Amino acid sequence: MNLSNIIRVAVASVVLAATVGASEVEAQQQAGNIVIESAWIGATNPGATVGAGYVTLRNTGPRSERLTSAASDAADRVELHEMTVTNGMMRMHPVAAIEIPPGGAVTLAPGGLHIMFLDIRAPFAVGSTVPVTMRFEHQGDVQVEFMVRRRDGR
Amino acid sequence: MNEEIHRRFRWTDWPLLAIAGLSAVLAILVVIYFTTAPPAVTGPTENQFSEFARGVDDVALTDSNGATLRWADLNGKPRLVFFGFTRCPEICPTTVAELSAAIDELGADARDVEVDFVSVDPARDTSEHLAAYFSSFGPRFRGLTGDRAEIDRLVHSFRASYEYVPTSGGDYTVNHTAITYLVNPQGEVVDIFGYGNPHDRTVAQLRAFLS
């Protein structure tokens, strides 16, 4: 193995380690009593003007916490929404806040609660990240990088 | 002796009589069950959705290229019909992605299938906008828009519904039926599945529909 190959392997190892490290950081993040897990956004179709983000919020503290709003430079407006499907009918409505009970967790996931991005500035492309400021009642503002993922799981 | 054979009826005989009576009733029911014609077998044209998509042949719509067409013009190929809108954050993009994945998985079996996404928000979903939205899914995905009145006729014929809901800043969102309708080349609805249908089930339903 010559020197350039050794350098190549070393660089690849560092890149790999950085990638693994980065994905772990994205998978879980702690801010005070709030643990933020698996923050992701569904990739959008060309020309789409809206998107939806999902995340699991864990409250390790002794008192109830509330996610009161979210903001992002990637969209004109960001709102907290809840979707329901009853008898084949999809309904959506904004929610004022999302409660995270002490010692409990709430999951924003397809088919239920989500962070709604309105008038996005550019399509959400698979593999990219979207910076979001999540505002909590007690914890205040927390910066979270949402990973853009395919919607069909492929 | 006579007394032994024709003993008087006693109250302890009642359970025996009850069993005999029930047996007789059961026997009669069994005879009725097997002599009555079984329920008519549901054929492809006599299914539970046979009343769907009737009387809409002349509904005028605009496709992604801006061309006007009638609903009946789309007959001739198996189609998957969905009502939605492009400012839909989840149901519509997920359904489009899911259908695309299922069609890819079916390969040659799904060669002819087309997907018709009918907008229930035609004021915002122009044909240009729909063309962009479906540009990465290939020509089998077709976005359709048009006059509200024409779209309403189609929506009602599929027993679907939608409603506009005001949101902040004078904006609105659309609540709508989240069902994919499987329409045969004759324009008849033969099967449906809803949002959240497991992927394997969607593939199985599409395979049965396309075979």
Whether B108 is in a domain gets the answer: yes
Q: Is the pLDDT of residue A1 over 80?
A: no
Q: Are residues B66 and B150 in the same domain?
A: yes
Q: Who's near B77: CB < 8 A, 6+ residues apart? A: B112, B113, B114, B185
Condensed to tens digits (0 to 9), the pLDDT of residues A55-83 reads: 999 999 999 999 999 999 999 999 999 99
Domain extent, residue B19, equals 2-35
Query: Residue A132 forms beta bridges with which residues?
Result: A144
ipTM exceeding cut-off 0.85 for this assembly? no
Q: Are residues B74 and B28 in the same domain?
A: no
Q: Which residue has the higher pLDDT, B67 or B44?
A: B67
- What letter does residue A91 receive in the DSSP assignment? E
- Distance (Å, rounded) from C-alpha A29 to C-alpha A47? 32
Closest Cβ opposite residue A88 in set B129, B173, B179 = B179
Average pLDDT, chain A: 87
Whether B48 is in a domain gets the answer: no
- Which chain A residue's Cα is nearest to B177? A89
Q: Are residues B31 and B92 in the same domain?
A: no
Whether B15 is in a domain gets the answer: yes
Residue A96 touches chain B, beta carbons under 8 Å: no
- Looking at chain A, the number of H-run helices and the number of E-run strands are 1, 11
- Count up the domains in chain B and report the number: 2
| CATH number of the domain where residue B64 is located | 3.40.30.10
Residue A149 touches chain B, beta carbons under 8 Å: no
Whether B43 is in a domain gets the answer: no
Whether B29 is in a domain gets the answer: yes
User: For helices B199-210 and B91-106, what crossing angle results, to 10°?
Assistant: 60
Q: Hey, which residues 86-105 in chain B have their CB within 8 Å of chain A? A: 86-91, 93-94, 96-98, 100-101
Q: Who's near A73: CB < 8 A, 6+ residues apart? A: A121, A131
Which of B90, B137, B193 best tests the A interface by mutation, with the highest count of A CBs <10 A? B90
- Distance (Å, rounded) from C-alpha B109 to C-alpha A90? 30
- Which chain A residue's Cα is nearest to B130? A47
Residue B200 touches chain A, beta carbons under 8 Å: no
Closest Cβ opposite residue A45 in set B93, B173, B177 = B93
Whether B46 is in a domain gets the answer: no
Whether B42 is in a domain gets the answer: no
Whether B198 is in a domain gets the answer: yes
Per-residue confidence (pLDDT) for residue B131, from 0 to 100? 95
Q: Are residues B113 and B12 in the same domain?
A: no
Per-residue confidence (pLDDT) for residue A22, from 0 to 100? 45
Concatenate the DSSP letters of all residues of B133-194 into one string: HTTTS-TTEEEEB--HHHHHHHHHHTT--EEEEE-GGG-EEEEEE-EEEEE-TTS-EEEEEE
Chain A residues inside the 8 Å CB shell of B167: 79, 94
Per-residue confidence (pLDDT) for residue B46, from 0 to 100? 60
What's the average model confidence in pLDDT over B43-72? 88
Highest mean pLDDT: which of A15-29, A128-142, B164-178?
A: A128-142
Q: Is the pLDDT of residue B36 over 70?
A: no
Per-residue confidence (pLDDT) for residue B160, from 0 to 100? 96
CA atoms within 13 A on the CB side of B57: 6
What's the average model confidence in pLDDT over A103-130? 95
Banded pLDDT at B25 (limits 50, 70, 90)? confident
Chain B residues inside the 8 Å CB shell of A47: 86, 129, 132-133, 135
Q: Are residues B176 and B92 in the same domain?
A: yes
Task: Verify whether the Cβ–Cβ distance B98 to A151 is below 8 Å.
Answer: yes
Average pLDDT, chain B: 87
Q: Are residues B97 and B200 in the same domain?
A: yes
List chain A domain ranges. 29-149
- What letter does residue B41 receive in the DSSP assignment? P
What percent of chain B is modeled with pLDDT above 70? 83
Q: Are residues B125 and B72 in the same domain?
A: yes
CA distance B13 to chain A (A): 55
What's the average model confidence in pLDDT over B19-47? 62
Per-residue confidence (pLDDT) for residue B169, from 0 to 100? 78
CATH topology of domain A29-149: Immunoglobulin-like (2.60.40)
What percent of chain B is modeled with pLDDT above 90? 72
Q: Is the pLDDT of residue B3 over 70?
A: no
Residue A117 touches chain B, beta carbons under 8 Å: yes
Nearest Cα neighbor of B195 from A67, A26, A50, A91 is: A91
Tokens of B120: 């229930």
Tokens of B129: 């906008």
Banded pLDDT at A19 (limits 50, 70, 90)? very low
Nearest Cα neighbor of B155 from A149, A125, A89 is: A89
Q: Who's near A45: CB < 8 A, 6+ residues apart? A: A123, B86, B93, B96, B133, B134, B136, B137
Q: Are residues B175 and B106 in the same domain?
A: yes
Per-residue confidence (pLDDT) for residue B21, from 0 to 100? 75
Closest Cβ opposite residue B194 in set A50, A88, A93 = A88
Radius of gyration of chain A (CA): 18
Structure pTM? Answer: 0.76
Nearest Cα neighbor of A53 from A27, A30, A21, A78 is: A78
**Token pair 């996610």 is at which residue?**
A67
CA atoms within 13 A on the CB side of B123: 7
